[in-house]
Amino acid sequence: MAITLSASDLPSPPLSARLSPPQVWGIVLLAPYILVFLAFVIYPIGYGLWLARQPASYVALFNDPIFARAAVNTLIFLLIGINIKMMIALFLSGFFVEQRRWIKWLSVIFILPWAVPSIPTILSVRFMLNPEWGMVNQIIFKLTGDDGPNWLNDPAVALSMAIGVHIWKSLPFWTLILITGRLAISHDLFEAAAVDGATWWQKFRYITWPSMQTLYITCTLLSMIWTLGDFNSVYLLTGGGPADLTHVLSTLGIRYLRLDQLSLAMASIVCAMPFVLPLVYFMMKRLSR
Amino acid sequence: MKLPGLSEFSWRDAGNEARLLLIGIPVFIWTMVPIYHMFLFAISPKEDAFSGKMWPDHPTLHNFEIVFRQQHYFLRDFYIQFWNSVVIAAAVGALTLFVATAAAFSISRLRVPGGRVVMNLALFTYFIPAAFLAVPMYRTMGTYGLLNNHWSLILAMVTIASPYAIWVLKQASDKLPVELDEAAVMDGATTLQIFRLVYLPLMMPSLVAIGTYAVLLAWNEYLYAFLLLSKDTEITLPVALGNFLAADDSPWELLMTTGFIYALPPAAVYYVFRRYMVGGLTAGAVKS
């Protein structure tokens, strides 16, 4: 080490002399994470990219109708599902900042979907939608005397239900964040607007939205990235069925993995990257300020 | 004799209240339906559970008895699986706290060279969807010979939990005044003494939040657990729940009962540590 350093153009003292004891400790304390990062992030990603190197995988992937369907489903999930979720969250954040004792209690209950693990609740919904024995169709039968639809057997309905489950699970989290955003707005602004006789919509349009739009857009983008990794909502509700028509990219990758088509699994993930990386870049810019 | 202005005012109040209720009641129903349905199955005998009743004719705790006595094919390893979940969650919590606290101290307080780069790499990992990393992670664990070993799940979850943990802890430690460290150095404290005697006590609230976050993340994890572990005596509870679906005539009332038992600890933990979670996590989750 010392030899290479002294051979360089700018002679510098040996490493141990350049570093103060706190810096040595700094390196020692950072080492565990760096090891974790190298062993379980860098190596897997590198290995995955190496597996996905052959153009033949991409040809096979694009010839697989399930992939095209999964890509479309993912887009529907993200563009429609997330926007609906965030709009409801924005609306509900306005509801939950109202000062009422019962709304305080309701907000405690409202957090439950976020606090409980998703597996049992998704399975609960799955059984509720069972065509013969599920609660929903039993009620439909009692009310109308007709058999209800076979909910999870129609791809469009099944995907909507998966989106519904996703919204059920993560709505409380985003509402909570938007509530903190709303509470940060100065109350004087609203009082002044009330004196001027502003309507509900004008208050929202000229006070609430301008102060919250950055937060709202950040939340939407972050939610989109995370939802790309939402495996449970689809897998546990529909299992990708009927006939593999409700897969999204995260469940498709696992499906290929189970079929031992690892290069296809990696190729499908690589195909999502042009969409993911700009979002990731944008979020990192925002968070590392 | 009422003052007209006063009665007008209370009418408007009532209208306002009604409008709030019109939002609040659907929100309550929407939130509770899947959870109530799970609870309903847990206290229903089989024939009531499948009849679509809103409340069973004969509510019973018999399902819980079957689960706790492991009296069903799907439940024969219930205690082992529960224990696996506990051990893995505890290990992930402890390891994440160790890795992330050390890293945050090093980056934020010691200003180690390259700390910023590591922070950015960690953030990058945080934004890679976990399901995407799962595929190569599975193969990597195979290469390391860790498949079907609890360490594979523990290490995978530590990998997933650390980036956010480091980020939150770094934000929190940036807020501690530099003068503290300087004063401690003046008094002749070594780096490790500063870490142990000054840094850790001051960081306690954030450490509680991050520990809870990591424990809940590991306890709730399904995808990685289901990929990395497969033996009946090695798997965690959520994987066991998923395995119920393998049969066509699954005992749904027992599945819901087990699910209910599995969901109780994280819900309890969440509500106990809510104070820390709201302060430490949601505020840091998205900076506006």
Domain for residue A233, yes or no? Answer: yes
CB atoms within 10 A of CB B223: 22
Domains contained in chain A, number: 2
A246 and A111 within one domain? yes
Domain identity same for A40 and A164? no
Residue-wise pLDDT for A227-273, tens only, equals 888 899 999 998 887 888 899 988 998 999 888 888 888 999 888 88
| Model confidence band, residue A9 (pLDDT cutoffs 50, 70, 90) | very low
* Residues of chain A contacting residue B136, judged by C-beta atoms under 8 Å apart: 44-45, 47-48, 51, 266
Q: Are residues B26 and B135 in the same domain?
A: no
- Judged by a CB distance cut-off of 8 A, whether residue B227 touches chain A is yes
Q: Which of B112, B138, B278 sits opposite A27 (nearest CB)?
A: B112
Q: How far apart are CA A173 and CA B285, in angstroms?
A: 10
In angstroms, rounded to a whole number, what is the distance separating the alpha carbons of residues A42 and A59? 26
CB contact under 8 A, B123 and A287: yes
With CB atoms and an 8 Å threshold, state whether B34 touches A128. yes
ipTM of the complex: 0.86
CB B281 within 8 A of CB B168: yes
Specify the pLDDT at position A14.
54
Q: How near does any CA of chain B get to the CA of A3, in Å?
A: 22
Indicate which of A12, A53, A127 best probes the interface with B, i.e. most B CBs within 10 Å of its own CB: A127
B239 and B107 inside one domain? yes
- Answer yes or no: do B265 and B236 share one domain: yes
Do B203 and B97 share a domain, yes or no? yes
Give the Å distances, CA to CA, from B285 to A275, B86, B116, B235.
22, 26, 19, 31
The whole-number pLDDT of residue A201 equals 87
Same domain, B277 and B213: yes
CB contact under 8 A, B37 and A226: no
Provide the pLDDT for residue A168. 95
Judgement on whether residues B168 and B58 belong to the same structural domain of the protein: no
Q: In whole angstroms, what is the distance from residue B79 CA to residue A35 CA?
A: 34
Which member of B27, B134, B158 has the closest CB to residue A92?
Answer: B27
Instruction: Write the residue in A108, A120, A280 that is nearest to B127 by C-beta.
Output: A280
Burial zone of A171 (CB within 10 Å; 0-12 exposed, 13-18 middle, 19+ buried): buried
A272 and A131 in one domain?
yes
Nearest CA in chain B to A128: B37
Of the two residues B205 and A81, the one the predictor is more confident about is A81
Query: Looking at B20, B43, B68, which one is the last position of a domain?
Result: B68
Q: Are B10 and A108 spatial neighbours (Cβ–Cβ below 8 Å)?
A: no
- Cβ atoms of B210 and B280 within 8 Å: the answer is yes
Residue A194 lies in a domain: yes
Q: For residue A199, what are its two tokens? A: 């309507």
B139 touches chain A (CB under 8 A): yes
Q: What is the C-alpha separation between B238 and A280, in angstroms, rounded? A: 30
Share of chain A above pLDDT 90, in %: 32
Same domain for A160 and A276, yes or no, is yes
Does A42 lie in the same domain as A83? no
The residue written with tokens 């847990």 in the block is B42
CB contact under 8 A, B259 and A92: no
Mean predicted confidence (pLDDT) in A45-74: 90
Contact B191 A21 (CB under 8 A): yes
Which residue in A192, A248, A211 sits closest to A77, CA to CA?
Answer: A248
CB contact under 8 A, B118 and A37: yes
Return d(Cα B64, Cα A268) in angstroms, integer.
Answer: 43
Please tell me the distance from the alpha carbon of residue B221 to that of residue A117, in angstroms, as a whole number: 8
Is the domain of B55 the same as that of B96? Answer: no
CB A54 within 8 A of CB A260: no
Contact B235, B84 (CB under 8 A): yes
Q: What is the CATH number of the domain that holds A193?
A: 1.10.3720.10
Where among B48, B68, B88 does a domain terminate? B68
Is A175:A91 a contact under the CB 8 Å cutoff? no
Average pLDDT, integer, range A49-75:
90
Same domain, A271 and A141: yes
| Whether residue A38 has pLDDT greater than 90 | yes
Residues A102 and A135 placed together within one structural domain of the fold: yes
Measured CA to CA, the distance from residue A117 to residue B104 in angstroms comes to 29
CB neighbour burial string for B80-90, b if at least 16 within 10 angstroms, e if fewer: ebbebbeebbb
Residues of chain B with pLDDT under 50: 1-2, 280, 283, 285-288
Instruction: Tell me which DSSP letter residue A42 carries.
Output: I
Q: How many domains does chain B have?
A: 2
**Which chain B residues touch A272 with a CB distance below 8 Å?**
132
A2 is a domain residue: no
pLDDT at res. A15: 55
Mark whether A42 and A168 lie in a shared domain: no
SS3 B117: helix
Same domain, A207 and A66: yes
- Cα nearest neighbour of A36 on chain B: B159
Rg over alpha carbons for chain B, rounded to the nearest Å, is 25
Whichever domain contains B137, its CATH number is: 1.10.3720.10
Rounded alpha-carbon distances, angstroms, from residue B69 to A259, B62, B66, B102, B260: 37, 11, 5, 43, 16
Nearest to B148 by CA among B84, B209, B89: B84
Task: Tell me: do B125 and B161 sit in the same domain.
Answer: yes
Residue A7 maps to a domain: no
**Residue A145 maps to a domain:** yes
Check whether residue B166 and residue B269 sit in a common domain: yes
pLDDT at A16: 53
Query: For position A187, what pLDDT does the model report?
Result: 84
Half-sphere exposure of A5 (CA within 13 A, CB side): 10
Q: Are residues B163 and B278 in the same domain?
A: yes
pLDDT on residue B1: 45
CB atoms within 10 A of CB A271: 16
For chain B, positions 235-274, list CB contacts with chain A under 8 A: 238, 241-242, 244-245, 252, 255-256, 258-260, 262-263, 266-267, 270-271, 274
Q: Comparing B49 with A195, which gets the higher pLDDT?
A: A195
pLDDT of residue A3: 41
Identify the domain boundary among B47, B68, B89. B68
Among candidate residues A10, A36, A51, the one where a domain is terminated: A51
For the whole model, what pTM was predicted?
A: 0.87
Q: How far is B48 from B204, CA to CA, in rounded Å?
A: 49
Is B17 in the same domain as B80?
A: no
**Do A38 and A109 belong to one domain?**
no
Q: What are phi and psi of A222, to 5 degrees?
A: -60, -40
Selecting from A37, A121, A173 the residue whose C-beta is nearest the C-beta of B34 gives A121
Collect all residues of chain B within an 8 Å Cβ-Cβ radius of residue A173. Answer: 282
- Helix, strand, coil percentages, rounded to 5, for chain B: 80, 0, 20
Which residues span the domain enclosing B22?
A: 4-68
Which pLDDT score, from 0 to 100, does residue B287 have? 44
One domain for residues A47 and A62: no
Task: List the one residue out of B274, B287, B130 whose CA is nearest residue B213.
Answer: B274
Are the C-beta atoms of residues A181 and A212 closer than 8 Å to each other? yes
- Examine residue A193 and state whether it is found in any structural domain, yes or no: yes
Provide the residue range defining the domain that includes A91: 58-287
- Same domain? A155 vs A250: yes
Same-domain pairing of B157 and B58: no
SS (H, E, C) A115-148: HCCHHHHHHHHHHHCCCCCCHHHHHHHHHHCCCC
Cβ–Cβ < 8 Å for B49, B242: no
Ordered alpha helix ranges (H), B77-199:
78-104, 115-127, 130-143, 150-174, 178-186, 191-193
Contact A26 B129 (CB under 8 A): no
B27 Cα distance to chain centroid: 23
Distance in angstroms (rounded) separating the CA atoms of residues B185 and B102: 19
